[in-house]
Amino acid sequence: MRAELELCETYRIPHSRFLGGDGRWSELDRAKALAWQARQRSLCPDCRTREAEWQDDRHAYVTDTVRCPGCELIAQERDRVPEGRAGYGIKVTLLPRQVYEHLHRGDDT
């Protein structure tokens, strides 16, 4: 149900609508939405775990190392941001090659 509620949050629809209902917010839909919101607020924004999980079992999670080619490319590009463009609010993003080429068609930079 977690994935279902994530989708409901993303599309701002009641859970009953996701399940095929008419789209009106029932008491149960509101209760689920409020419970989901409380759960999301209880998660650490960085590691996405809850403090209670650690209290119950100090070894509830183990670390794993993965490499993301996209994150690697962003980190490399961040190191190459020109002085004049560096500073607060600068974000390096990923675009599909075709989108990038379309946006920069005829751009000499």
Given pLDDT bands bounded at 50, 70 and 90, which one contains residue 83?
Answer: confident
pTM above 0.85, yes or no: no
Percentage of residues in the chain with pLDDT exceeding 70? 96
CA–CA dist 53, 87 (Å, integer): 38
| Residue (of 29, 38, 31) closest to 8 by Cα position | 29
CA–CA dist 94, 97 (Å, integer): 9
Q: Residue 27: pLDDT above 80?
A: yes
pLDDT digits (tens, 9 = 90+) for 48-60: 999 999 998 999 9
